[in-house]
Amino acid sequence: MTTGALTGPLDGPIGVFDSGVGGLTVLRALRAQLPDENFIYLGDTARLPYGTKSAQSVVRYSLQCAAALLERGIRCLVVACNTASASSIDALRLQHPGLPVIGVVEPGAEAAVAASVSQHIAVIATEGTIAGGAYEAAIHRLNAAARVTSRACSLFVALAEEGWTSGPIAEAAARRYLEPVFSMADPPDTLVLGCTHFPALHPAIAAVLQPQVRVVDSAATTAAAVARRLDRSERPSGARGSVILLATDGAARFARVGSAFLGEALRADTVEIVDL
């Protein structure tokens, strides 16, 4: 992996990894935009969540996930986990210079800067993503004058995994996290959902926001970024691509919780358990 050439065959699958099942929202968007591509998705469920772990540990886990996917011949790597994107993109690109590596942070930041009129942008994410400041840095690379207000919303992950994505508890949590951000004198006009779990809570989040606030989730924007980066000239078109699902622990839970994120029913016996 030390040359500048593309890694693997031109029609190799697209590798996607996440700390667990949340990244299936990104896989869903990728399949919608690139239906004829083959995908290998790896959820590092044995070590989830990444969002409360140190950056050093997350970098190590990310390099292990990438290595496991490269062994299976991927030609492009999508880091579907915001925390891993925030901490590990540079290390992944350094270790695999020939491999296109696309994270969710940069496309999300681009979409937010494009959507915001006031250029005051709110970012909500896990503790790890917020502490690392990656969204703030990515937004400032696009517009140094932008203002970014960040807030860690750890409970949203548990709410999404429990399936409590709407109703009074989800709305009360959304209000508690977001009211201090949006009751400022000069509030943000755009909100970035900087965690793959958060789009599941969109209804509860929207219920506590003023209707003019734009909500950006990085799944669709990341899928568009992947499509732009790929050499798709040699792809056969028309055929529906395949999906291989890998996890590091708990096939039954992966299938049960993951179905909601992928938007289609998953069976536990289609999830292969791997050791990293």
Residues 51-80 within binding reach of a second copy (CB under 8 A) = 52-54, 57
Cα 84 to Cα 78: distance, rounded to the nearest angstrom: 11
Q: What is the DSSP letter of 194?
A: -
Q: Which two tokens stand for residue 190?
A: 């755009």
**Part of the chain binding a second copy (CB under 8 A), chosen from 39-47, 82-90, 92-100, 214-222:** 39-47
Task: Measure Cα distances from 212 to 146, 149, 165, 190, 193 in Å.
Answer: 19, 17, 22, 9, 16
* Cβ at position 207, least distance to a second copy in Å: 15
**Part of the chain binding a second copy (CB under 8 A), chosen from 99-107, 150-158, 181-189, 200-208:** 150-158
**151 touching a second copy, by CB under 8 A:** no
Residue 261: name the closest of 269, 272, 253 by CA: 253
Give the one residue of 18, 37, 110, 161 binding a second copy; rule: CB under 8 A. 161
Residues 228-267 within binding reach of a second copy (CB under 8 A) = 249-250, 253
Give the one residue of 10, 67, 114, 158 binding a second copy; rule: CB under 8 A. 158
* Cβ at position 276, least distance to a second copy in Å: 12
**Part of the chain binding a second copy (CB under 8 A), chosen from 2-10, 32-40, 162-170, 192-200:** 162-170
Strand-pairing partners, residue 42, are 17, 246
**168 touching a second copy, by CB under 8 A:** yes
Cα 96 to Cα 17: distance, rounded to the nearest angstrom: 15
Residue 240: name the closest of 10, 20, 31 by CA: 31
**272 touching a second copy, by CB under 8 A:** no
Task: Measure Cα distances from 10 to 32, 67, 166, 240 in Å.
Answer: 20, 18, 42, 17
**182 touching a second copy, by CB under 8 A:** no
* Cβ at position 268, least distance to a second copy in Å: 11
- Nearer to a second copy among residue 81 and residue 226 (C-beta): 81
- Nearer to a second copy among residue 48 and residue 195 (C-beta): 48
- Nearer to a second copy among residue 68 and residue 220 (C-beta): 68
Determine the size of the site formed for a second copy (CB under 8 A).
Answer: 25
Task: Measure Cα distances from 51 to 57, 154, 221, 255 in Å.
Answer: 11, 8, 21, 21
Give the one residue of 47, 75, 96, 197 binding a second copy; rule: CB under 8 A. 47
Cα 270 to Cα 109: distance, rounded to the nearest angstrom: 34
Whether the CB-CB separation of 80 and 196 falls below 8 Å is answered with yes
Interface ranges with a second copy (CB under 8 A): 45-48, 52-54, 57, 127, 154-155, 157-159, 161-162, 164, 168-169, 172-173, 176, 249-250, 253
